[in-house]
Amino acid sequence: MKTLRNVLWVLTAFYAVMAVVYTVWTAVFDNDAEWVGIVAFALMALFTGFIAFYLGFENKPFAKKLLPEDREDAEIRDADEDLGFFMPATMWPFVTAAGVGGVFASIAVGWWPAFWLAPIALIGLLGWMFETYRGKFGH
Each residue of 41-97: pLDDT tens digit? 999 999 999 999 998 887 766 666 777 777 778 777 777 766 666 677 888 999 999
When pLDDT is cut at 50, 70 and 90, the band that residue 137 belongs to is: low
Alpha carbons 21 and 36: distance in angstroms, whole number: 14
| Alpha-helix runs per DSSP H in 30-90 | 35-57, 61-64
- pLDDT of res. 11: 97
**DSSP secondary structure code for residue 102 in this structure:** H
C-alpha angle 86/88/89, rounded to 5°?
120
Q: What is the pLDDT of residues 25-43, one digit of tens each?
A: 999 888 888 899 999 999 9
pTM of model > 0.75: no
